[in-house]
Amino acid sequence: MTIINNNTPIYQQLADKISDDIVEKKLQSDEKVPSVREIAADYEVNANTAMKAIELLSSNGIIYNKRGMGYFVSNEADDIIRANKKKEFIENDLPKVIKTMHQLGISINEVEQEFNNYKN
């Protein structure tokens, strides 16, 4: 991944990236998350920005802190991430998409095609 300069804050993109790594099992339960300084170096961002991403994940219960040892993936991480995404999808994305489809006369079949063609 590269950090793209769109309107999404960098710290948010970093948190999303780490969440993705967890969902895709690149980071397992109780595995150590890269340190703030490592993240900052890897993505060439300031340590404070990396820290903010970590704080975001921590406050959501996705990672937990062992003092002086860094952050680790919590057991419930996967569930929390999925629940958050599902909530976001149901409440925001889906209604917006449905509305747009009706307005534009897009059929469910077109979406189904895209769905079936999807490669990760």
Partner DNA sequence: GTGGTCTAGACCACC
Partner DNA sequence: GTGGTCTAGACCACA
Residue 54's binding partner among DNA, a copy of itself, none (Cβ under 5 to 8 angstroms by kind) is: DNA
When asked if residue 86 is in the footprint of a copy of itself (CB under 8 A), the reply is: yes
Contact 39, 53 (CB under 8 A): yes
Q: How far apart are CA 69 and CA 65, in angstroms?
A: 8
* CB closer to DNA, 41 vs 90: 41
* CB closer to DNA, 70 vs 101: 70
Residue 23's binding partner among a copy of itself, DNA, none (Cβ under 5 to 8 angstroms by kind) is: a copy of itself
Alpha-carbon distances, residue 57 vs 32, 104, 109 (angstroms): 13, 37, 37
Q: How far apart are CA 17 and CA 20, in angstroms?
A: 5
**Site for a copy of itself, rule CB under 8 A:** 5, 9-10, 20, 23, 46, 59, 64-68, 82, 85-86, 89, 93-104, 106, 108, 111-112, 114-115, 118, 120
